[in-house]
Structure 1
């Protein structure tokens, strides 16, 4: 019986080659699995970011123009403008519940009110949405028009908040100037900003006098919301969806901004037109698209019944794809110069209330 005493050089070389092949195959499988995992992970993040972003925008668009009861109420706005003059403050003007800045250009600025530190990305759309919120609303059991005090037991509104009161016959926008937990005070004075220019909540608004008194006993007081959506760069240089909202600082109404979802690179808005007066946007039911860019129509037209929002969501990590990936936005094919993963998500929202 002979025993193995060693390996020949040829046998050793064959064993090394076989081992190298096995290692190479294992490394290839690992690299392939890692690339696939990275792609799937970034795709999941893109889809999740899109879901959150679209949920925020769609929910607010559906509420745009809501003032309680019928949408045809007349609204008296007693708020002063930024210079404390007699004009209604634009940030709280519900006569235009939706305002759209089409393809924003920083050099030209925007007519939509934004915080001073906001820097929207050029070429993206900006959407401002205003409505009254029923959450936290209270019922007016008594209204002393001469002292500008409404009894609204148990309310949680704070001094400086901008409110809307409605009784299904009329409505008014006021700023809460008092601190009693059971009272809503809409007096004049400089204790809050922008402040009320008159006690009277009836039309026409006359700021140089006490105005026209209107009794809102039996009405409802709601918080006025103003949300503006736009694309900006966050602190890490990543494009993100931002939203401004009305806040209160030292009893003064202010616009605050908040980053909602990172990775949102572009937002484009199309308006759905109802040209045959059937209540449905023609561009959504015709084989030939009749949606138009918001910049090509007058935004006060009554035949705008829906809004289509398209978001370009980008991966946070670069080099997710091996080559630049083209995508289609509003019928235009765009080919980037980097290797970020991008997807376009689109949602159509029917406008329920008075809108543009």
Structure 2
């Protein structure tokens, strides 16, 4: 019987172990490289997606309001105002008026109710006003022009009555006439009520008669007054903000609604119709061509608006080199801040290797289309 060999190998030699470790390190390095590349690609894709999302939402919000600017239902002229604007400033009167339907400020903060000590430097702002959320009613037969209350027939399946909250600014109208006032009744009531001066802004005291007795079918609208501007935020990216009329108790206030974070610049030009064909003949900045900051001038000739925004990603060090591109809407602006370097010729360099994108939309005002 043969004896077992005493020279059989038991384990690995040092050389074999070193070769195995070298192969393992090469494989691990390849896996690590794939992982890091995937991580970088994920961060880049996330940054691009967030910038695209910010740009899309910002332009959608503003485009919707601009399209509606000046809508007043069946009102062919400015409605009869019952609002108490006796002690109001020019800007406050403008904020509660249906005219001008759109108005802007060039590279300065909006002056509507002081909105905006935090407005971002060298960015534009604008306000749009229109009647929204139309609701049609049959009148109650007892209505007359002298009483402060106007009754309406509320359907049984209508859970909210008139739908207008106490304090909201309401526009009522039909083909005979229109009124704008501050409602005193709650949303479940079956009548509209002019409030007195115990609320802000309140209605005139004594109140004037309605423009009509409202014996015909009428439509109620909630008055929308929206001011858009870019706001600096402590410890985070700037954002696009809308200051909107909002009920607060029995009053109405202009409250900030933060819409989109990551918008660091907004520039707006306005399409002027100079020959009456309701088509834009030129695009100009606010404060020029008789587009006066107080709302006077030729704002009624504006038939469209071109908005350009610059959005950046929250993520830093996403790109290997800083983005540099031409931002035509910013020509003439020189600024060096935490996010970008602006040169006079419109060249912008984005800092901290963030992803950035310019979004531009030209929006026609539907009520002024041919």
TM-score > 0.5, shorter chain as reference: yes
Count of equivalent residues: 331
Helix, strand or coil at the partner of 1:323: coil
**CA separation of 1:294/1:167 partners in 2, compared to 1, >3 Å: closer, same or farther?**
same
**CA separation of 1:84/1:326 partners in 2, compared to 1, >3 Å: closer, same or farther?**
closer
2:198 matched residue in structure 1:
191
**CA separation of 1:223/1:137 partners in 2, compared to 1, >3 Å: closer, same or farther?**
farther
Once residues 169 and 14 of structure 1 are traced to their aligned partners in structure 2, the CA distance between those partners, rounded to angstroms, is: 95
**CA separation of 1:276/1:178 partners in 2, compared to 1, >3 Å: closer, same or farther?**
closer
**CA separation of 1:328/1:25 partners in 2, compared to 1, >3 Å: closer, same or farther?**
same
Question: Which of 92, 96, 99 is the equivalent residue of 2:100?
Answer: 96
Q: What TM-score, normalized by structure 2, do the two folds share?
A: 0.79
Once residues 82 and 9 of structure 1 are traced to their aligned partners in structure 2, the CA distance between those partners, rounded to angstroms, is: 96
Residue 304 of structure 2 is aligned to residue 306 of structure 1? yes
Q: CA RMSD in A?
A: 2.9
Once residues 48 and 151 of structure 2 are traced to their aligned partners in structure 1, the CA distance between those partners, rounded to angstroms, is: 53
1:177-256 aligned within 5 A: 177-179=184-186, 181-186=189-194, 189-197=196-204, 198-200=206-208, 214-218=212-216, 219-234=218-233, 236-256=235-255
Contact 2:144 2:212 in 1 (8 A): no
Tell me by how many angstroms 1:4 deviates. 4.3
2:46 matched residue in structure 1:
41
Q: What TM-score, normalized by structure 1, do the two folds share?
A: 0.82
1:56-67 aligned within 5 A: 56-67=61-72
Once residues 89 and 358 of structure 2 are traced to their aligned partners in structure 1, the CA distance between those partners, rounded to angstroms, is: 44
Helix, strand or coil at the partner of 1:144: coil
Residue 74 of structure 2 is aligned to residue 69 of structure 1? yes
1:111 matched residue in structure 2:
111
1:151-190 aligned within 5 A: 151-153=151-153, 154-179=161-186, 181-186=189-194, 189-190=196-197
Q: Considering only CA atoms, is the larger Rg found in Structure 1 or Structure 2? A: 2
Contact 2:47 2:314 in 1 (8 A): yes
Structure 2: gaps spanning 5 or more residues? 154-160, 292-296, 330-345
Helix, strand or coil at the partner of 1:193: coil
Contact 1:232 1:241 in 2 (8 A): yes
Residue 288 of structure 2 is aligned to residue 296 of structure 1? yes
Tell me by how many angstroms 1:14 deviates. 4.0
1:76-91 aligned within 5 A: 76-81=80-85, 83=87, 89-91=93-95
**CA separation of 1:101/1:140 partners in 2, compared to 1, >3 Å: closer, same or farther?**
farther
Residue 255 of structure 2 is aligned to residue 260 of structure 1? no
Tell me by how many angstroms 1:190 deviates. 2.5
Which sits farther off after the overlay, 273-282 or 341-350? 273-282
Structure 1: gaps spanning 5 or more residues? 203-212, 283-289
